[in-house]
């Protein structure tokens, strides 16, 4: 147990699906899991452990932003001995190739945040997903005939639709980093995984295309990401523990 998670250690599976919205965690448990149990309610960050096709899996909310993801993923890796975390979330498109509801597999996450410097006094602003976990996701996507786009994302500290000059933010990224989308949590997840010698990946569904002024409702964000959720869950069934 931690100040943020009342679950007992044995109530958390070795592989965890994480999602920002607590209601999305509830949705996944209720619609995909058998024999599931609610194991955390502190701060409304719902956490459920159940069975998906016979595989024991935990789904937990992580809230919004780098600090929130930093807390919850660190505690799962460090105190609950979780080996793998796959984030399933939403993102805003930067690339013209991305459309509403396209799936993004994050290759690397770039941030202007001082998360790594604050935690470890390290000037680290880009970190990669686990290569083997991403490979497992790609193989699963091929088997399930689920298309995706793989690339680098901006892990932002501000909700990018509210930023007046998004192009300025993109231009500040290193020249060799082509950012295709923006979200707010993957850097902390990947950094904590590397730090704890664990594995992490991130799948995103495009819910905002600013250049086309297109987006989806809060209800759609909660319930219309099933293809991405299925990809994550099917991947977990293939992970050897």
User: Structural domain boundaries of the chain?
Assistant: 9-238
Residue 219's pLDDT is what?
Answer: 66
* Residue 139 pLDDT class (50, 70, 90 cuts): very high
Q: What class has domain 9-238?
A: alpha beta
Segment 147-151 mean pLDDT: 96
- Please give the angle made by the CA atoms of 101, 141 and 197, to the nearest 5 degrees: 100
Sequence-ordered list of residues with C-beta below 8 angstroms from that of 159, at least 6 positions apart, any chain: 184
Active-site annotation holder among 96, 165, 208, 226: 208
Residue 206's pLDDT is what?
Answer: 93
Sequence-ordered list of residues with C-beta below 8 angstroms from that of 156, at least 6 positions apart, any chain: 111, 112, 163, 169, 182, 183, 184
Structure tokens at 69: 């993801």
Residue 46 scores a pLDDT above 90: yes
Contact (CB, 8 A) for 193 and 85: yes
68-82, 158-172, 177-191 — which is least confidently predicted?
Answer: 158-172
Contact (CB, 8 A) for 46 and 22: yes
Contact (CB, 8 A) for 80 and 12: yes
> What is the Cα 188 distance to its own chain's centre?
10
Of residues 162 and 126, the one with the higher pLDDT is 126
Residue 222 scores a pLDDT above 60: no
Residue 31 scores a pLDDT above 90: yes
Q: At what angle do helices 22-32 and 226-238 cross, to 10 degrees?
A: 70
Contact (CB, 8 A) for 110 and 171: no
Segment 207-224 mean pLDDT: 66
Q: Give the pTM.
A: 0.93
Is 83 part of the annotated catalytic residue set?
A: no
Sequence-ordered list of residues with C-beta below 8 angstroms from that of 115, at least 6 positions apart, any chain: 66, 67, 70, 187, 188, 191
Segment 50-77 mean pLDDT: 97
Of residues 128 and 225, the one with the higher pLDDT is 128
* Residue 84 pLDDT class (50, 70, 90 cuts): very high
3-state DSSP assignment of residue 86: strand
């Amino acid at each position: 147990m931690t100040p943020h998670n009342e679950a007992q250690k044995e109530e958390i599976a070795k592989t965890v699906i994480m999602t920002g919205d607590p209601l999305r965690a509830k949705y996944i448990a209720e619609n995909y899991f058998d024999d599931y149990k609610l194991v955390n309610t502190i701060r409304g960050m719902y956490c459920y452990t159940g069975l998906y096709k016979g595989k024991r899996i935990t789904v937990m909310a992580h809230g919004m932003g780098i600090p929130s993801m930093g807390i919850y993923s660190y505690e799962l890796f460090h105190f609950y001995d979780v080996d793998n975390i796959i984030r399933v979330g939403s993102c805003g498109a930067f690339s013209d190739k991305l459309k509403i509801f396209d799936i993004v597999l994050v290759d690397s996450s770039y941030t202007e945040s001082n998360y790594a410097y604050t935690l470890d006094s390290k000037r680290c602003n880009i970190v990669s997903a686990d290569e083997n976990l991403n490979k497992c996701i790609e193989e699963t996507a091929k088997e399930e005939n689920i298309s995706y786009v793989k690339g680098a994302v901006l892990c932002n500290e501000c909700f990018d639709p509210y930023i007046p000059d998004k192009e300025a933010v993109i231009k500040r990224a290193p020249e060799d980093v082509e950012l295709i989308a923006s979200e707010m949590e993957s850097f902390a997840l990947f950094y904590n995984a590397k730090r704890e010698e664990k594995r992490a990946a991130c799948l995103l569904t495009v819910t905002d295309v600013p250049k086309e002024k297109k987006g989806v409702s809060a209800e759609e964000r909660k319930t219309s990401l099933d293809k991405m959720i299925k990809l994550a869950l099917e991947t977990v069934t293939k992970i050897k523990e």
